[in-house]
């Protein structure tokens, strides 16, 4: 049997009925290990699902009203894109994971957690402060 190099990240529910309960999530070191564990078809399915979710998030985050009402923005987009396709095949081809999201509260939380685990408390606090700013801006 092939040995698969896997580490596990401990995640937890941050709210709701199961708040503070934890679970392990595998993190693989190579794509070969993922394919060995799940098979090529399922690995591609997971990858395609993640790419779809990330592009959806990129598109949704680009739809900021900037002082307009949602209805005004919808009218503007409908006029600009009569077929309602606001993210073209060409846009999708240009998308990369690095370009597709930047800072998110989740990414910042993981980064802060890593700093705290390494004993770098000032850096961790600074990242948490940035996370709080980002969350406040999203609510506004």
Mean pLDDT of 40-59: 94
User: Which pLDDT tens digit goes with each residue over 89-136?
Assistant: 999 999 888 765 567 788 889 889 988 998 889 888 988 988 888 787
Mean pLDDT of 43-59: 93
pLDDT at 44 exceeding the cut of 90: yes
User: Which pLDDT tens digit goes with each residue over 63-101?
Assistant: 887 788 999 999 999 999 999 999 999 999 998 887 655
**Which pLDDT does position 1 carry in this prediction?**
57
Q: Could you tell me the two tokens for 71? A: 């209805």
Mean pLDDT of 21-47: 95
Q: Count of residues for the chain?
A: 140
Q: Could you tell me the two tokens for 5? A: 């190099």
Range 28-39 burial, b when 16+ CB lie within 10 A, else e: beeeebbeeeee
**Dihedral-angle region of residue 95 (phi above 0 means left; psi in -120 to 50 means alpha; beta otherwise):** beta
pLDDT at 28 exceeding the cut of 70: yes
**Which pLDDT does position 99 carry in this prediction?**
63
Of 43 and 111, more confident: 43
């Amino acid at each position: 049997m092939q040995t698969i190099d896997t580490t596990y990240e401990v995640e937890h529910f941050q709210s709701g009925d199961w708040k503070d309960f934890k679970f392990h999530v595998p993190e693989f070191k190579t794509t070969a290990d993922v394919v060995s564990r799940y098979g090529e078809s399922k690995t591609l399915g997971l990858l395609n699902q993640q790419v779809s979710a990330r592009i959806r998030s990129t598109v949704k985050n680009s739809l900021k009203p900037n002082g307009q009402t949602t209805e005004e923005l919808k009218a503007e987009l409908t006029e600009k894109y009569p077929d309602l396709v606001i993210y073209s095949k060409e846009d999708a081809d240009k998308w990369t994971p690095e370009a597709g999201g930047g800072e998110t509260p989740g990414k910042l939380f993981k980064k802060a957690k890593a700093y705290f685990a390494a004993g770098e408390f000032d850096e961790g606090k600074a990242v948490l402060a940035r996370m709080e700013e980002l969350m406040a801006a999203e609510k506004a």
